[in-house]
Amino acid sequence: MEFWNPYTETLPREKLEKIEFSYFQNLLSYAKANSQLYKDKLKGINIDDIKVFEDIKKIPFTYKEELRKWQEDVDPFPYGGLLGIDIANVSSFRQTSGTTGKPVYVPESYESWQWRVESWCHILYMAGFRPRHRVFLPFGYNVYVAFWEAHYAAEKLGCEVVPGGALDTKGRVNKIIELKANAMCGTPTYLLNIAQEAASMGIDPKSLGIERALGAGEPLPEATRKRIEETYNCKMYDHIGSTETCGFAGMCEAQQGLHIVEPFFLVELLDKDTLSKEVSEGELGVIVITPLGRRSFPVIRFNTNDVAIKGPSTCECGRTSLKLMEIVGRVDDISKIRGVLFSPKTVEQLIRSEFPEIVEYELVVTREDIMDKITLRIEADPKLNKDEAGEVAKRLGERHKIKTNLSCKVVVEPQGTLPRYDLKAKRFKDMRGKH
Amino acid sequence: MDEIRNEIMNIEKSAEKLKTLAKDNNAIRKNAEIILTFLYILKFITPATD
């Protein structure tokens, strides 16, 4: 087996834990001295009391809501109390999608960004990406972090990167063919969408020459992973990460679970009821993460609300890092649709605040083949004629896309079609997996 | 790994010196800072275990 960093990737667990604890102590001191959030959060804690690994549990969790709070009306704009460096040293801006509330603005210094990229190099390398690969990245290059890390890491690995932004799916298929790209990264559903588009153009996806692909942004069930492999005749791998935490785990050639990139991250898998006890192998736990070397935006014991099954710390690949066998989902009810976090509340707020001419609505998510589809059924004010109602539907579709980063089909229904509710409304129907 | 760590320390000393020497030259100073950035990562990925 080949490793990106054979030294750290094969260290015995006790040595990895010792290193991570040492990095954790350094980060605590750094954050307390440089981040307004942690100056406040750690004010009652004497860092010298954090002497052994188990003492980590004395440090409180960090929640996403806190990150939002510390950016509201706190200087320096727009990062507020989350910033861990002089704002003059911020070199790039990223943000979370904001579908569960106000977006979190994430500052990266050149150092912090390169630290993220180095972590991602581990993920790509363990997925078999090598300098021989011409990597096509079919995503809209924008304020979201998705695939920027992949772009820079693939460059660092020595791959040739083809930025596939600002093209429609057909254009992307043509570009893959034109340049003979042989590797890709994308959300699993979009990778299949590309394959479907190619097929509709009379092109067998297998003939595209994609050797391997890395999925991101949404769960990759084993059946979908295998389907992508069969569709493209390629090897398909998975990874997990987020804007706040960075990409923190990836799949190796053995394709059995995701290796935590250690010692970049201290990952705790805690019993979801008590959030205090580390779960055992095979058990479900809430993922709590501390990125150990990112100073621009220190985040300590970030409670992701994601639940995963703890895997073994041995693997046929030889890596000794902790493994997550399966990402089961989120603790709360926020959905992920086509790789984007989605809250029905966002749609309700949009309709209630901007579309008084809509009298009732229903949001339905279905899975057609394996692609998630959102249908927004609306009933318009009966005073509107057909053309006016159609115009409202068009505008709603556009605003929905802007607010949620997801496209949807808006259907104008006849009056009285949709159910009315006296008490708790059930306007969101997630029908995926129900047919 | 000890030899590698020693070499990283040597480069760090040189890069710091370069940065000081080039305090009036933006281009050289910035490139020295970038070397220091990668030295931060090099130190991070070569931790001592004892």
Q: Could you tell me what percent of chain A has a pLDDT over 70?
A: 95
CB A259 within 8 A of CB A249: yes
pLDDT at A258: 96
Residue of A110, A261, A295, A321 to mutate, interface with B, max B Cβ within 10 Å: A110
Q: Which of A55, A36, A37 is nearest to A46 (CA)?
A: A55
For the segment(s) A335-430, the CATH number from 3.30.300.30, 3.40.1710.10, 3.20.20.10, 3.40.190.10 is 3.30.300.30
How many Å lie between the alpha carbon of A16 and the closest alpha carbon of chain B?
A: 8
Q: Which residues in chain A have their CB less than 8 angstroms from residue B12's CB?
A: none
CB A193 within 8 A of CB A220: no
How many Å lie between the alpha carbon of B5 and the closest alpha carbon of chain A?
A: 13
B1 in contact with A, Cβ within 8 Å: yes
- CA angle centred on A285, ends A279 and A288, rounded to 5°: 105
Topology (CATH level 3) of domain A8-115+240-330: Rossmann fold (3.40.50)
> pLDDT digits over A239-282, tens only?
999 899 999 999 999 999 999 999 999 999 999 889 999 999 99
Which chain A residue lies closest to B31 (C-alpha atoms)?
A110
Residue A153 pLDDT > 70, yes or no? Answer: yes
Asked whether the beta carbons of residue B38 and residue A11 sit closer than 8 angstroms, the reply is: no
Q: Which residues in chain B have their CB less than 8 angstroms from residue A110's CB?
A: 33-34, 37
CB A411 within 8 A of CB A378: yes
DSSP codes of every residue in A275-318: S-SBPPTTSEEEEEEEESS--SS---SEEEEEEEEE--S--TT-
pLDDT at A8: 97
pLDDT at A421: 58
* Mean per-residue pLDDT over chain A, rounded: 90
Which chain B residue lies closest to A15 (C-alpha atoms)?
B49
> pLDDT digits over A80-125, tens only?
999 999 999 999 999 987 766 789 999 999 999 999 999 999 999 9
Domain locations in chain A? 8-115+240-330, 127-237, 335-430
- In the CATH hierarchy, which top-level class contains the domain A127-237? alpha beta
Q: Which residues in chain B have their CB less than 8 angstroms from residue A18's CB?
A: 49
pLDDT at A225: 87
Q: Which residues in chain B have their CB less than 8 angstroms from residue A8's CB?
A: 45, 47
B37 in contact with A, Cβ within 8 Å: yes
> pLDDT digits over A311-328, tens only?
987 899 999 999 999 777
pLDDT at A423: 39
Matching CATH topology for A127-237 and A335-430? no
Strand partners, A250: A239, A259
* Mean per-residue pLDDT over chain B, rounded: 96
Query: Between helices A386-404 and A344-354, what is the axis angle to 10°?
Result: 130
Of B33, B41, B46, the CB nearest to A115: B41
Q: How confident is the model at residue A141 (pLDDT cuts 50, 70, 90)?
A: confident
> pLDDT digits over A395-404, tens only?
999 999 998 8
Q: Give mean pLDDT, residues A150-156.
A: 97
Of B33, B34, B45, the CB nearest to A118: B45
Question: C-alpha distances in angstroms, A302 versus A61, A67, A140, A390, A418?
Answer: 6, 10, 28, 44, 41
Q: Which of A151, A157, A108 is nearest to A131 (CA)?
A: A157
Asked whether the beta carbons of residue A118 and residue B47 sit closer than 8 angstroms, the reply is: no
Q: Which residues in chain B have their CB less than 8 angstroms from residue A24's CB?
A: none
Which chain B residue lies closest to A13 (C-alpha atoms)?
B49
Of A15, A115, A293, the CB nearest to B49: A15
Which chain A residue lies closest to B43 (C-alpha atoms)?
A293
Count of CB pairs separated by less than 8 Å, A with B: 34
Q: Give mean pLDDT, residues A378-384.
A: 89
Which is higher by pLDDT, A99 or B23?
Answer: B23
Asked whether the beta carbons of residue A115 and residue B40 sit closer than 8 angstroms, the reply is: yes
Helix (H, G, I), strand (E, B) or coil at A361: strand
Sign of CA pseudo-dihedral A135, A6, B11, B13: positive
Q: Which residues in chain A have their CB less than 8 angstroms from residue B44's CB?
A: 23, 115, 118, 264, 293
Residue A209 pLDDT > 80, yes or no? Answer: yes
Q: How confident is the model at residue A139 (pLDDT cuts 50, 70, 90)?
A: confident
Residue of A3, A4, A5, A8 to mutate, interface with B, max B Cβ within 10 Å: A8
Residue of B44, B46, B50 to mutate, interface with A, max A Cβ within 10 Å: B44
Q: How confident is the model at residue A333 (pLDDT cuts 50, 70, 90)?
A: very low
How many Å lie between the alpha carbon of A433 and the closest alpha carbon of chain B?
A: 43
* DSSP run (H or E) holding A266: strand A265-270
Asked whether the beta carbons of residue A263 and residue B47 sit closer than 8 angstroms, the reply is: yes
Instruction: Write phi, then psi, for A55 (nearest 5 degrees).
Output: -65, -15
Question: C-alpha distances in angstroms, A246 versus A45, A146, A376?
Answer: 27, 10, 33
CB A241 within 8 A of CB A234: no
Instruction: Write phi, then psi, for A194 (nearest 5 degrees).
Output: -60, -45
Which chain B residue lies closest to A110 (C-alpha atoms)?
B37
Does the interface ipTM go beyond 0.90? Answer: yes
A115 in contact with B, Cβ within 8 Å: yes
b/e map of A12-38 (b: 16 or more CB within 10 Å)? eeebbbbbbbebbbebbebbbebbbbb
Residue A424 pLDDT > 70, yes or no? Answer: no
